[in-house]
């Protein structure tokens, strides 16, 4: 294992932050990047990263790594340091309120400029040239504050990877993940290994989250560089490791084993892949995911838990008006799996209380939570 420390741009005299990157395996071969807790208060990802560190060290010592794996055991030192009146707030930059997992640079256009006249009829050779072009485009990015520098560094580390896994969690949730629609087969495979109850797919979820900033440029380059053959050279997924309070050693070990098995299936870890376990769900469009929101302020009383199947019209929660005492039943508009719900029980108007993986809705615009 080789440890790399990257210093981030400073925003305040005397205050510095750095990224820690753990490198495993040979310098050549396929590359995987795994990072934990880009939303720094999503702690289960930090625990899974420690379980992964142990496994990757062992695999490296045994000569079982056929490619490079870089692990960021904490991807957001800025958010780790953000505490306000005893509460850890790691999702948004307190300087300007921007989400740490939104607004990543779109590299496809800059990479396409570098690719003109360099592609031929060999798909594998084209992929290698495109990977280099994306890395060059990322290297040219600039930043003028610590949060932008963090996003720049994370993208530079990951954009030339074959596999990118961004480890998160939700408030209270069943295991679920997000990926690109054209990579549904790989997403379903990862979901089966992790025991996911929802696999949510989109070609553009909106607001440029980290995982799509790594994988979506390949889709755009395919379109821009036609008719030259170009594969989707990066599979990237956001993995939601259940809920905020789900920090258990047995689950962390189980999740780390599943991720290692996925890397084995991608040719990054040696050995014969184990049989794929039965999938607990089929992939569904992210546009069909239904957010159940609070129409007014009140106390939230849930009737459904993460992982429950719901039918259209089922009551998901009650919202209790503390002035009148009235109970307002909040129902599902579509059938599906309730895969996540909020971890707090007081709601203001518009608050997202739960999310259902359905198939009958067709939302437009930004599809992710704020």
The domain that holds 85 is classified in CATH as 3.40.630.10
Q: What is the pLDDT of residues 210-224, one digit of tens each?
A: 999 999 999 999 999
Q: What is the pLDDT of residues 256-300, one digit of tens each?
A: 999 999 999 999 999 999 999 999 999 999 999 999 999 999 999
295 and 263 assigned to the same domain: no
Domain that holds residue 315: 285-358
Residue 93 lies in a domain: yes
Residue 367 lies in a domain: no
pLDDT at 10 over 90: no
278 and 347 assigned to the same domain: no
Chain centroid to Cα 308, Å, comes to: 23
β-pair type (235-243, 163-170): parallel
pLDDT at 155 over 90: yes
**Whether the bond into 227 is cis, omega within 30 of 0:** yes
Q: Report whether 204 contacts 287 (CB < 8 A).
A: no
Q: Which of 257, 282, 307 is the last residue of a domain?
A: 282
Residues 6+ apart with CB under 8 A from 334: 288, 290, 312, 356, 358, 359, 360, 361
Q: Which of 259, 282, 305 is the last residue of a domain?
A: 282
* Alpha helix segments (H runs only) across 195-241: 210-224
153 and 32 assigned to the same domain: yes
Residue 369 lies in a domain: no
The 3-state secondary structure of 326-344, one letter per residue: CEEEEECCCCEEEEEECCC
pLDDT attached to residue 93: 97
265 and 303 assigned to the same domain: no
The domain that holds 302 is classified in CATH as 2.40.50.100
Residues 6+ apart with CB under 8 A from 52: 34, 71, 256, 259, 260
Q: How many domains does the chain have?
A: 2
Chain centroid to Cα 362, Å, comes to: 22
Residue 47 lies in a domain: yes
pLDDT at 79 over 90: yes
pLDDT attached to residue 89: 97
251 and 302 assigned to the same domain: no
Q: Which residue has the tokens 């050995």?
A: 271
Q: What is the mean pLDDT of residues 144-148?
A: 94
pTM over 0.95: yes
pLDDT at 359 over 90: no
Residue 312 lies in a domain: yes
88 and 146 assigned to the same domain: yes
Residue 370 lies in a domain: no
Q: Can you give the C-alpha Rg of the chain in angstroms? A: 21
CB-facing half-sphere around the CA of 237: CA atoms within 13 A = 31
Q: What is the mean pLDDT of residues 152-173?
A: 98
Residue 363 lies in a domain: no
**Spatial separation of the C-alpha atoms in residues 52 and 263, rounded to whole Å:** 12
Q: Which of 282, 305, 336 is the last residue of a domain?
A: 282
Burial grade of 84 (CB within 10 A; 0-12, 13-18, 19 or more):
exposed
173 and 235 assigned to the same domain: yes
269 and 344 assigned to the same domain: no
- What percent of the chain stands above pLDDT 70? 100
Q: Report the candidate in 26, 22, 32, 25 with the shortest Cα–Cα distance to residue 75.
A: 22
164 and 261 assigned to the same domain: yes
123 and 192 assigned to the same domain: yes
Residue 211 lies in a domain: yes
Q: What is the mean pLDDT of residues 196-201?
A: 98
55 and 175 assigned to the same domain: yes
Q: Report whether 244 contacts 42 (CB < 8 A).
A: yes
263 and 326 assigned to the same domain: no
The chain-wide mean pLDDT, for the chain, equals 97
């Amino acid at each position: 294992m080789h440890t790399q420390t990257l210093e981030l741009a400073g925003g305040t005299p005397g205050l510095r932050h750095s990224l820690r990157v753990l490198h495993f395996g040979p310098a050549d071969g396929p590359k995987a990047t795994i990072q934990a807790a880009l939303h720094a208060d999503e702690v289960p990802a930090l625990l899974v990263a420690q379980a992964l560190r142990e496994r990757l060290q062992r695999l490296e010592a045994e000569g079982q790594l056929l490619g490079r794996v870089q692990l960021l055991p904490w991807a957001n030192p800025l958010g780790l340091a953000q505490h306000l009146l005893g509460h850890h707030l790691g999702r948004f930059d307190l300087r300007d309120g921007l989400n740490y997992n939104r607004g990543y640079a779109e590299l496809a256009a800059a990479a396409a400029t570098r690719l003109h006249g360099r592609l031929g009829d060999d798909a594998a050779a084209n992929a290698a040239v495109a990977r280099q072009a994306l890395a060059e485009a990322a290297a040219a990015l600039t930043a003028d504050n610590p949060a932008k520098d963090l996003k720049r560094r994370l993208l530079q580390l990951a954009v030339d990877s074959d596999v990118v896994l961004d480890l998160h969690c939700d408030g209270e949730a069943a295991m679920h993940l997000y990926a690109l629609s054209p990579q549904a087969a790989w997403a379903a495979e990862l979901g089966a290994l992790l025991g996911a109850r929802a696999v949510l797919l989109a070609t553009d979820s909106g607001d440029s989250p980290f995982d799509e900033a790594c994988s979506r440029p390949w889709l755009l380059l395919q379109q821009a560089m036609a008719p030259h053959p170009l594969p989707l050279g990066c599979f990237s997924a956001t993995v939601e490791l259940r809920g905020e309070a789900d920090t258990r050693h047995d689950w962390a070990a189980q999740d780390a084993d599943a991720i290692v098995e996925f890397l084995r299936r991608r040719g990054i870890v040696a050995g014969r892949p184990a049989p794929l376990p039965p999938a607990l769900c089929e992939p569904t469009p992210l546009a069909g995911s239904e957010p159940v929101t609070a129409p007014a302020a009140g106390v939230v009383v849930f009737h459904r838990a993460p992982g429950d199947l719901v039918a259209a019209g089922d009551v998901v929660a009650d919202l209790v008006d503390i002035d009148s005492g009235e109970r307002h039943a909040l129902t599902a508009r579509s059938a599906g799996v309730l895969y996540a719900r909020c971890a707090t029980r007081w709601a203001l108007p518009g608050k997202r209380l739960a999310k259902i993986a359905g198939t009958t809705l067709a939302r437009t615009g930004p599809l992710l939570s704020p």
